[in-house]
Amino acid sequence: MDGLAPSREKAPSFEAMFEGFNNEPFSLRKLTAFLGLASRRIAHHCADILLLDVAATSIFEIFEEFGTESPDRIGRETRFIDISTDSLSFVNASIALEGYLGFIPPRWDQLSLAELEELKHVAHV
């Protein structure tokens, strides 16, 4: 499933961005540097979403890539809401789902894997 997630280096954590600022007096230069790093981190996450390769071949593949459960714990009745950890995973999975189904069903995260797969068949009839 390497095709779903962008292969780019991770942006620095906010903790890393604060490193070196703790014991120094405030300055506009330091604040500007911090805000620049923070905006680059946000831009990095946005780029990950926009560059996402949405070539999923199944709902299982999407759940496996963006959920937190191990693949052997994902079954036909598993819902994404049961395996997701954060909003970025939700957004990325939504994009992959739209690429797979051609649309994003309302409340898709509360539908089971089997229900979502059935929508693929209904959408192409």
- CATH code assigned at 85: 1.10.1200
* 70 lies in the same domain as 107: yes
* 73 lies in the same domain as 45: no
* 19 lies in the same domain as 3: yes
| Burial of 97 (C-beta count, 10 Å sphere; 0-12/13-18/19+) | buried
* 65 lies in the same domain as 22: no
Tell me which residue range forms the domain holding 84. 59-123
Segment 4-30 shows an average pLDDT of 55
* 63 lies in the same domain as 118: yes
CA distances from 97 to 3, 53, 74, 75 (A): 14, 11, 16, 17
Which residue, among 82, 83, 8, has the nearest Cα to 50 in the 3D structure?
8
Q: Name the domain boundary from 26, 53, 80.
A: 53
Segment 2-14 shows an average pLDDT of 51
* 74 lies in the same domain as 24: no
The pLDDT score that the predictor gives to residue 118 is 93
Question: Which pair of structure tokens corresponds to residue 29?
Answer: 């230069």
Q: Name the domain boundary from 14, 38, 53.
A: 53
* 70 lies in the same domain as 86: yes
Domain count, the chain: 2
Check: CB of residue 6 under 8 Å from CB of residue 52. Answer: yes
* 49 lies in the same domain as 89: no
pTM, rounded to two decimals? 0.56
Longest dimension (CA), the chain: 66
Quote the percentage of the chain above a pLDDT of 90.
25
CA distance 109 to 101: 14
Q: Name the domain boundary from 33, 53, 73.
A: 53
Higher-scoring residue by pLDDT: 3, 83? 83
The pLDDT score that the predictor gives to residue 51 is 52
Residue 79 backbone dihedrals phi, psi, to 5 degrees: -110, 150
